[in-house]
Amino acid sequence: MTSKNNHKIVDHLFRHQFGKMVAILSKIFGLSNLELIEDAVQDTFLKASIKWRDKLPENPEAWLMKAAKNRVIDIFRQINAEKKRQVKISHGTITLEINDFFLDHEVADSQLRMIFVACHPALSKKEQIAFALKAISGFSMKEIAAALLQNEETIKKRLVRARQKIKDLNITLDYPTRDEIQPRMSGVLQIIYLIFNEGFHSTKPDLLVSKDLCGEAIRLCKLLLLKENFRSGSLYALFALLCFHASRLDSKLINKEIIDLKHQDRSKWYLPLIVLGNDALRKSREFDDPSIYYIEAAIASEHVKAIDFKHTNWQRILTLYEEMYQIMPSDSILLSKANIYLQINQLKKAKTTLDQINRATLNQRGYLLNGCYSAYHEKCGDIQKALEELNFAIQGCSNLFEKQYLENKKNLLLTTL
């Protein structure tokens, strides 16, 4: 196996294990030592990437867990040394207790607790999201900045403030009380949604999809659904949405080329995830907490139930987007509506909707507005205008895969001149 493949495995394990290891070590040492813990886990993965360069261990996950346990011992010594106390911990009851902490159900429990710590009301919404992306999913400062459309210095300050508040307020790795659960859940769901979105449509220039991040978001949703106290219509709806989107991952990118929804091979859509999504969407209706996630899941459901692109129920999808816009007006929803108008050839409505959009509010996705204008002009028969807009879209697009997709569309348009 090549060192490049080994590096991919380390990266995969990092996405799946970082949050677990941080959570379990925080349970052992307390959140006041969080920065030390994150550094220790980061160091473990760095050592793995070097040690595994030429040869992988037989069981990489077991190796990481063993390394993490050894780091526990090191951290104990470090903390004790700072307190000028020496405690022998390499044998005996403390070692047994450490092993107990690493049992699967304990790891899952610790990670759930960490999610609720991230959404503690003492932290601002912005601090909550930055802290969660770092502590739960191991995002780098650069990745958090890209996902939240902020500069790295801003993210660094948010993380420093969040950690300081946790220390000053002596926040512990405990579940919220029954009365506090639902108020915190909106933040929890938003974080899971962000993690999935970064996987489904990466902000990295050289990566379009990260299945690891999508899988991590789904896993966190499933962990929450296992606890009856945490279940809600919003949580089931979010789980349904993630299942529907994840079912299409294998058809979204073929041989490093983007395949749009119209041309995806629907036989590649993963049926078990669609079935899970349908079941979760039905269960969400049993609760009295309608949400944006339910509307998004209903839209995704229309796409996965259609036998082909032509038979998509566009009118139903348009109605759902209008309902969403009434609840949460945004230019990104207007853009989606404009795209639907184009699908049903209501060109005048498409143009009117596009003209309402403020490109600046779309941030890094501003090029999508140009792409939609291009599609409008193409349907109107004005190929030159369509090419102009495509050129703007290409200039504004930073993702290499999307840029190539737009270049391919441009080349197809050029053949029609």
Number of domains the chain is built from:
3
Residues 98 and 114 in one domain: no
| Distance (Å, whole) CA 222 – CA 367 | 35
Residue 328, in any domain of the structure: no
| Distance (Å, whole) CA 244 – CA 224 | 18
pLDDT for position 341: 97
Q: Are 251 and 259 in contact (CB under 8 A)?
A: yes
Residue 223, in any domain of the structure: yes
Residues 12 and 39 in one domain: yes
What is the sign of the dihedral through the CA atoms of 177, 179, 183 and 189? Answer: positive
Residues 6+ apart with CB under 8 A from 110: 20, 23, 24, 26, 27, 101, 173
Q: Are 156 and 130 in contact (CB under 8 A)?
A: no
Residue 102 Cα distances to 28, 46, 215, angstroms: 10, 21, 21
- Domain span holding position 79: 1-102
pLDDT for position 90: 44
**Each residue's pLDDT expressed in tens, for the chain with a length of 417 residues:** 455 565 666 666 676 678 888 888 888 778 888 887 888 788 877 777 787 877 788 787 777 777 766 776 776 677 666 555 444 444 444 444 555 555 565 667 888 888 888 889 899 988 988 888 888 877 778 878 877 767 889 999 999 999 999 989 998 888 888 888 888 888 889 889 988 988 888 766 666 677 878 888 898 899 899 888 899 999 999 999 999 999 999 999 888 888 999 999 999 999 999 999 999 999 999 999 989 999 999 999 999 999 999 999 999 999 999 999 999 999 999 999 999 999 999 999 999 999 999 998 888 889 999 999 999 999 999 999 999 999 999 999 988 889 999 999 999 999 987
Residues 70 and 124 in one domain: no
Q: Are 152 and 140 in contact (CB under 8 A)?
A: no
Residue 275, in any domain of the structure: no
Residues 143 and 191 in one domain: yes
Residues 22 and 36 in one domain: yes
Q: Are 394 and 414 in contact (CB under 8 A)?
A: no
Q: What angle do helix axes 93-101 and 104-118 make, rounded to 10 degrees?
A: 70
Question: What is the pTM for the complete model shown?
Answer: 0.80
Residue 255, in any domain of the structure: no
Residue 318, in any domain of the structure: no
> One-letter amino acid identity for 289?
D
- What is the tens place of the pLDDT at every residue in 131-186? 888 888 777 788 788 777 678 899 999 999 999 999 899 988 888 888 888 888 88
| Distance (Å, whole) CA 375 – CA 383 | 9
3-state secondary structure (DSSP) of residue 253: strand
- What is the tens place of the pLDDT at every residue in 260-310? 999 999 999 999 999 999 999 999 999 999 899 999 999 999 999 999 999
Residues 75 and 98 in one domain: yes
pLDDT for position 85: 45
> One-letter amino acid identity for 272?
P
CB atoms within 10 A of CB 209: 17
Which of 62, 35, 36 lies closest to 48 in space, CA to CA? 62
Question: Of 102, 117, 152, at which residue does a domain stop?
Answer: 102
Residue 390 Cα distances to 252, 384, 395, angstroms: 21, 10, 9
| Distance (Å, whole) CA 384 – CA 119 | 50
Residues 6+ apart with CB under 8 A from 150: 144
